[in-house]
Structure 1
Amino acid sequence: MTDVWDPPTVLRAAADWSWVPPDAECLTTDVTLTRWPAWAHGRVVLTGLSSQRAPGDVLRGAVEQARAWRSDTLGVWVSASSAPDLTGELLARGARLEDTVDVLARTLDEPPHDSAERVVVRRVTDVDGLRDADHVETVVWDQQPMDDERLAENARALLAEHSAEARVVAYLDDAPVASAGLTLAPAPYPGLGTVARLWGAGTLPDRRGRGAYRAVLVERLRIAYAAGATLALVKGRVSTSARILRKAGFERYGEERYYRLTL
């Protein structure tokens, strides 16, 4: 990485980023509580930990709101920059560690030179392309498929003139097998340009190991570079995608952990 994107700045960019599904309900104070919509399992997730309150106070308030939303669980993302660190409080309450992701990044000083010739990758430019992406995501992420109304709404937002989002789909034998997205966001400090947040990459289980994940990664890096982004940022699962990303030139800067607390 360059001196401009030093480790603390990369971690700041990662801390500024948490996924919020469309149609979710958010409550933001010194932390952020999000109630996901029914199609995304209706989870309640605590993120954006930047509070001066004691860990017990933060978690108590989040639990009360989750119960008010009639949720029987609370998810919490914790990182090295989280304040306060809720790990001890969560474990004392019996929370279970469910996921760990590496914070990975690479600068975009030049266009990617990686080859992705084994599969065909297309950027989503219409409802049909979005339907192909949704087909993959329904299987990979175990979520409800979009109906025609949601497809049309999402396509309008994605293809709007000033949209900061892009989606890509990988095909083998003309069938969609992998999908992924990216969002362009401001850097955490002035003068650093734009961050390309890479998210949602997944491959159908019976099509893994054939280069589709790598292909959608390369295509998103090309899109990000063409859009003028200076950093590509991704949170990759330690057990799966993190290894592929390291081979593609990404460096590890830390990790984030997801705990699930039963209420």
Structure 2
Amino acid sequence: MSLSVADVAAAGAAWVWMPDDAEVVADEEYTILRLPEYVAFDLSVVSFTPTRPLGQAVDAVVERARAFGLPTLDWQVLLGDPEGLPAELAARGGQVKIELEIVAADLSEGAPALRPPTVDVSLRWATDVATARDGLALEAAGFRGELPPAERIEAVAARNAETVPAGRGGLVVAYVDGEPAGTGGVAIVDGVARLSGGVVAPHRRGRGVYRSVLDARLSYGVANGATMALVKANPTTSGPILRKAGFTGFGPEPVYAVPLTGDQPR
């Protein structure tokens, strides 16, 4: 199997992150999420399939987003989005907030062999509340969010207890010296291992903890039928590690912050 840009773009577009406690506004052209308070993003566009001239479609999304009364809309430009979308967002005052790239690896012949860590790492799937709390605390610190409320942590553990053994994915947590050191999620959908939320505690970096978490997720993906691994990666942090692990970059997918208050430049 050889991954094409079209394959990766389609898999990336199909990956719509939609927490079950988010408020969803959707029509045939777009989906906007009002995210819960513990998430670092407030308001986000997670799908955009315009059926009219691009500028009009963008205006419709921005106008609907203003109804939430929030100052900013986060909008990720995907690999398969219309070519003129970045210019349209910039014309409305949008600025790149996060530089991301979509990277993928061919798993049709198995998971790549990764260099072992330089410390003793133990791995646990977050199928119990304590492990789920450890993983979500690492995620919150790494992505500048907040620890979810207790009921949300319990729900994550309960979901993992169902999905991990069923081969649909979950959250894995790495421990060093008995302390949570790193975490990452994986979801298996239509033969694609979607890898998300990879983060390592700052004082544990540079020792192979990220590779251990990556290896666990790739091995899990292969064991459960995945032939592609997909990541929306930070090109300066996880990106280089993923490339060394056999991933290929297919293009940028930046997140724009589009202002929703005041006069909009055009």
Deviation at 1:258, TM superposition (A): 0.7
What's the counterpart of residue 128 of structure 2?
126
* Paired amino acid for 2:154: A
User: Does the 8 Å contact 2:31/2:45 carry over to 1?
Assistant: yes
Alignment of 1:60-71 (within 5 A): 60-71=59-70
Deviation at 1:81, TM superposition (A): 1.3
What's the counterpart of residue 113 of structure 1?
113
* Paired amino acid for 1:25: E
The answer as to 2:248 corresponding to 1:246 is no
Unpaired stretches in structure 2, ≥5 consecutive residues: 261-266
Identity over aligned pairs, percent = 34
* Paired amino acid for 2:209: A
Deviations 1:112-142 (CA, angstroms, capped at 9, x unpaired):
4224343222222311110110221121122
CA distance in 1, matches of 2:115, 2:161: 27
Kindly tell me: are residues 147 and 223 of structure 1, through their superposed partners in 2, closer, same or farther at Cα, counting changes over 3 Å?
Answer: same
Deviation at 1:27, TM superposition (A): 2.2
Deviation at 1:179, TM superposition (A): 0.7
Equivalent residue for 2:210, pick from 213, 230, 254: 213
What's the counterpart of residue 199 of structure 1?
196
Unpaired stretches in structure 1, ≥5 consecutive residues: 187-193
User: Does the 8 Å contact 1:106/1:251 carry over to 2?
Assistant: yes
Q: Which runs of 4+ in 1 moved over 3 A?
A: none
User: Does the 8 Å contact 1:103/1:253 carry over to 2?
Assistant: yes
Deviation at 1:87, TM superposition (A): 1.2
* Paired amino acid for 1:204: A
Alignment of 1:125-144 (within 5 A): 125-144=127-146
| Number of residue equivalences | 254
What's the counterpart of residue 4 of structure 2?
6
CA distance in 2, matches of 1:30, 1:173: 49
Deviations 1:205-257 (CA, angstroms, capped at 9, x unpaired):
22221211111101100111111111111111112111110000001112211
The answer as to 2:234 corresponding to 1:237 is yes
* Paired amino acid for 2:256: Y
What's the counterpart of residue 219 of structure 2?
222
Deviation at 1:73, TM superposition (A): 0.6
* Paired amino acid for 2:53: A
* Paired amino acid for 1:85: G
User: Does the 8 Å contact 1:177/1:207 carry over to 2?
Assistant: yes
Kindly tell me: are residues 133 and 80 of structure 1, through their superposed partners in 2, closer, same or farther at Cα, counting changes over 3 Å?
Answer: closer
Deviates further, 203-212 or 235-244: 203-212
CA distance in 1, matches of 2:127, 2:170: 9
User: Does the 8 Å contact 1:32/1:49 carry over to 2?
Assistant: yes
What is the TM-score with the length of structure 1 in the denominator?
A: 0.90
* Paired amino acid for 1:6: S
What's the counterpart of residue 185 of structure 2?
181
User: Does the 8 Å contact 2:168/2:189 carry over to 1?
Assistant: yes
What's the counterpart of residue 38 of structure 1?
37
What is the TM-score with the length of structure 2 in the denominator?
A: 0.89
